[in-house]
Amino acid sequence: MKFASYRNNETNETSFGFKRDKYIVDIWRSAKWLHQKNGDKTFLDIPLSLKEALKDWKLNFEKLKQLDTIITDEDINKGDVDGKPIASLESELELTAPVPDPQSFRDFYAFEQHVRSARKLRGLDMHPDWFKIPIFYFSNPAALFGHKSNINYPRGTEELDFELEFAIIIADGGSNISADSATDHIAGYTICNDWSARDLQREEMAMSLGPAKGKDFATSFGPYMVTPDELETAWDDKGKLHLRMTCHINGVLISDGNTNDLYHPFEKMIERASMNTKLVSGDYLGSGTVGTGCILELRPENTNGWIKKGDVVRLEVERLGVLENKIV
C-alpha cells in the first residue's frame, strides 16, 4: 500500500490516508463511514496519524489492508462523513512528509560512488572503516517538507544543492535490533531530498564537526510511504532493491542512479542506529546520496550552476513516486 499524510486546511491538523488511483482515502472518515453504513466498528480504533499507527504496525497494517479491501470505488465517489467526502483527489491535497513530526532523522552515507567522489574532491582516499560500518549524522526533524512544498532559499549560502536519496520509516521501534530481525522494523520506503548548503557545510566541517547549518534548514520526504509488499518484484538476483533514481532540475535530467548501488543495506543501518539506544516508530533512516545524485559530485560547471531561486527540483524513484519542490 501507499500511505500519504496531508494537512487539513480547515483545522491545520494532519491526517493520513491510503492511495487509490488518483484519490487519497482518509483513514478516519472511511472508518466512520463504514460504521455509519453498516455498523462496522472494526476500524474505528486505527490511530489518526501514521506516526501513531506505526507504534503497533503489525496490527494496524493488517486492519488498513482490510479497510482498503472493503472500501469500494462507489464508497470513494459517494461516501461522506458530516458532509465531507471520505476520499479526495490527491492533486487537491497539501501533502506533508509521510511522518511530518518524527522524533529523529538519521541520514547515512551508504552509496560508495558518492562517497568516493565527495572524498576525492577533498583530496582524500576512501577510509577503510567506511566498508565496515554504516555511518550517519542526525539532521533536523523539525524542518521536514512534503511533495510540492516550497523551500525557502537559506540565508548565508551561494551554493545550494540537492541530494537524491531514498529512506525507510521505522515501525515498532526498539533497541539493539539485529540485522537479521531488522526487516520487521521497516514499515516502508520513501524518497528523500537532503537539501545542502555546500559553502556553509564546508566551513563547519573544516573544524571536524557537522554537518549542521549546511543541512538543517530543510529535508523533503514523500510523496508516500510505500510498504515493502509493493516492492516484492523489485529485488534483483543479488538480493538488492532495483529501482531507478533520477533528478530533473527545471525539466532537465541531472542525475540518474539506482538503489541497487547501495553498499550498506538498511538492515545494517538499523542495527547500527539502534545500538545502545532506541529507534522510535516514525523515525527516518536515509540512504545517503546515490552516485551522481548531487551538484557537488557532478560539479556546478556541468549543471548550469548551483540551485537558484525559482528552480524546480524533481526527484523520482521508480515505484516510490515523484518528490518535487520549488525554491523560493
3-state secondary structure of 160: strand
Q: What is the pLDDT of residue 210?
A: 83
Q: Are 136 and 108 in contact (CB under 8 A)?
A: yes
Q: What is the pLDDT of residue 117?
A: 87
Give the span between the Cα atoms of 114 and 258, in whole angstroms.
Answer: 12
3-state secondary structure of 117: helix
Q: What is the pLDDT of residue 13?
A: 82
Concatenated DSSP letters of 22-83: TEEEEHHHHHHHHHHHH---TTTTS-SSHHHHGGGHHHHHHHHHHHHHHS-HHHHHH-EETT
Q: Per the confidence metrics, is the pTM higher than 0.75?
A: yes
Structural domains in the chain, CATH included, are: 2-95 (no CATH), 105-327 (3.90.850.10)
Give the span between the Cα atoms of 171 and 187, in whole angstroms.
Answer: 5
Q: Where are the alpha helices (DSSP H) in the chain?
A: 27-38, 50-53, 57-70, 73-78, 112-121, 198-205, 266-273, 295-298
Q: What is the pLDDT of residue 121?
A: 82
Q: What is the pLDDT of residue 119?
A: 85
Give the span between the Cα atoms of 110 and 48, in whole angstroms.
Answer: 34
The single residue listed with the C-alpha cell 577533498 is 122
Q: Which one, of 146, 142, 28, lies nearest residue 96 by Cα? A: 146
pLDDT in tens, the chain (328 residues): 999 999 977 677 899 999 999 999 999 999 999 999 999 999 999 999 999 999 999 999 999 999 999 999 999 999 999 899 999 999 999 999 999 999 999 999 999 999 998 888 888 899 999 999 999 999 999 999 999 999 999 999 999 999 999 999 999 999 999 999 999 999 999 999 999 999 999 999 888 888 999 999 999 999 999 999 999 999 998 889 999 999 999 999 999 999 999 999 999 999 999 999 999 999 999 999 999 999 999 999 999 999 999 999 999 999 999 999 999 9
Q: What is the pLDDT of residue 12?
A: 76
Burial class (CB in 10 A: 0-12, 13-18, 19+), 121: exposed
Q: What is the pLDDT of residue 304?
A: 95
Q: What is the pLDDT of residue 259?
A: 98
